[in-house]
Amino acid sequence: MHTWTAMPQLTEPGNLPPAPFTGPDSVLADTTLRQTVHLTVGGPRLRVRVSNAFGGSPLPITAAAVGLPAGGKAGVSGASRLRPLTFGGRASVVVPVGALMVSDPVALALPPGANLSISLYLADGQAGTALTSHPGSRTTSYLVNGDAHRAADLPGATPVDHWYLISGVEVEAAASGLVVVGDSLTDGRGSTTNGNDRWPDQLFALRPRTAVLNQAAGGNRVLNDGLGPNVLARLDRDVLATSGADRLLLFEGVNDIGTAPATPAAQRQVVDDLLAAYRQVVLRAHAVGIPVVGATITPFGGHEGYDDPDGLRDRSRRDVNAALRRIFDRVVDFDAAVRDPALPRRLDPAFDTGDHLHLNPAGYAALAARASAISPALRSSS
């Protein structure tokens, strides 16, 4: 089952690896890429998913390894107990355009909540600059020229706060799996780089027997593509095909409301369309026996881009929230967890990063505490 996930995205030009790791005709040529990920449930063996979902050409991985990051920490370049990864018994693999490859299982016993180091070496790099990544990693990765995938450290490596080419880690375990689909509020904008204090991370700390699988991306929307495909387009890949997933929590919609024009007609339309889309998510999840929890949309009063003088978008937010109990198997009230009691259309100042939309680690702790009440025995009503 999955213990860690990252939603694959097409890398924007500003998030490509810095020179010399991105050239005019290829990316990551003769490059070792070392990344750390924060697992949820543990197990005696693991395997890694390498994704070329958005690559414009085949992705040739020359060699790969996993190990324990130095000091057990996130965002470090050192690693120990390095184990080679193979793919169908081969040390190298070419991932076709739009596809993923899953490594063979490797023995590396890891406890719940461990950090894992993943190293990839690309001798030739990937042709073109269409690269699959997850820019909002909130975790530091390292790039160095040459084959250093089995090196204990990478002196002089270039740090970047993005994940590239990896989309999942699976372990041998028997646990419940909660997939969380969301936007930047779940991807962790406002959380601590290398701190693993997004609200899904903090939820796992409260519910350590549940694999909490974060399939969120900043700017993501339910109805239309934004930063990454819309929820309806990515539901099969990011949820229904995720091994071990037996529940889904959907916390998304603020970007749909915030980017729709602040007119009565446009806001009525986006509310109707969002509710219809939520019903589609529930219908498709129930078809494979996955119950769905809906989370209320949190306040954004005072946000420079989304708030409007007439409060039309906030009314849409409240209308959507009021309808959720008619759609989902269960509702978790994130709105109530972080709103300002004195001014409910705004975030509680103690939780506000300052942009009046995103939360700080204390705000994410409040969401995690609210989500922790979800019953692990929740079942689909279909």
| Chain mean pLDDT for the chain | 97
Q: What sign has the CA pseudo-torsion 100, 102, 108, 114? A: positive
pLDDT value, residue 377 = 54
Stretch 272-288: mean pLDDT = 98
Is 377 part of a structural domain of the chain?
A: no
Is 380 part of a structural domain of the chain?
A: no
Stretch 312-335: mean pLDDT = 98
Stretch 77-97: mean pLDDT = 98
Does residue 77 sit in the same domain as residue 184?
no
pLDDT value, residue 376 = 62
pLDDT in tens, 138-172: 999 999 999 999 999 999 999 999 999 999 999 99
Say if residue 20 is preceded by a cis peptide, omega within 30 of 0.
yes
Does residue 124 sit in the same domain as residue 195?
no
Tokens (6 digits) for 69: 């990051």
Kindly report the length of the chain: 382
Does residue 258 sit in the same domain as residue 333?
yes
- Give the C-alpha separation, 316 to 297, whole Å: 10
Does residue 149 sit in the same domain as residue 235?
no
Is 376 part of a structural domain of the chain?
A: no
pTM of the predicted model as reported, rounded to 2 decimal places: 0.96
DSSP state of 56: S
Q: How many domains does the chain have?
A: 2
Does residue 10 sit in the same domain as residue 46?
yes
User: Which has the closest alpha carbon to 82: 95, 102, 67, 103?
Assistant: 67
pLDDT value, residue 333 = 98
- Give the C-alpha separation, 188 to 359, whole Å: 8
Is 325 part of a structural domain of the chain?
A: yes
Does residue 139 sit in the same domain as residue 181?
no
Strands lying side by side in the sheet with 247-251: 210-216, 176-182, 247-251, 292-295, 330-332
> Which pairs count as long-range contacts for 201-204, CB under 8 Å and 24+ apart, including other chains?
201/38, 201/368, 202/361, 202/364, 202/365, 202/367, 202/368, 203/178, 203/367, 203/368, 203/371, 203/372, 204/40, 204/113
DSSP state of 187: H
Tell me the residue type at 74. Answer: A
Q: Residue 185 sits in a domain of what CATH number?
A: 3.40.50.1110
112 Cβ contact partners less than 8 Å away, ≥ 6 residues apart? 39, 40, 41, 42, 208, 209
Which of 135, 170, 205 is the endpoint of a domain?
Answer: 170
Is 41 part of a structural domain of the chain?
A: yes
DSSP, collapsed to helix, strand or coil, labels residue 272 as helix
Tell me the residue type at 22. Answer: T
Q: What is the DSSP string of 303-356?
A: -TTT--TT-HHHHHHHHHHHHGGGTSSEEE-HHHHHEETTEEEEE-TTTB-SSS
- Give the C-alpha separation, 52 to 121, whole Å: 15
Does residue 151 sit in the same domain as residue 14?
yes
Tell me the residue type at 162. Answer: H
pLDDT in tens, 220-229: 999 999 889 9
Does residue 105 sit in the same domain as residue 190?
no
Which of 170, 199, 221 is the endpoint of a domain?
Answer: 170
- Give the C-alpha separation, 324 to 319, whole Å: 9
pLDDT at 380 over 60: no
Is 82 part of a structural domain of the chain?
A: yes
Does residue 165 sit in the same domain as residue 103?
yes
Does residue 144 sit in the same domain as residue 106?
yes
Does residue 264 sit in the same domain as residue 139?
no
Which of 170, 199, 223 is the endpoint of a domain?
Answer: 170
Does residue 36 sit in the same domain as residue 145?
yes
pLDDT value, residue 382 = 47
Is 69 part of a structural domain of the chain?
A: yes
pLDDT at 379 over 70: no
Give residue 129's domain range. Answer: 2-170
Is 379 part of a structural domain of the chain?
A: no
pLDDT at 375 over 90: no
pLDDT at 173 over 80: yes
Q: Residue 373 — pLDDT band, cuts 50, 70, 90?
A: confident
Stretch 122-138: mean pLDDT = 98
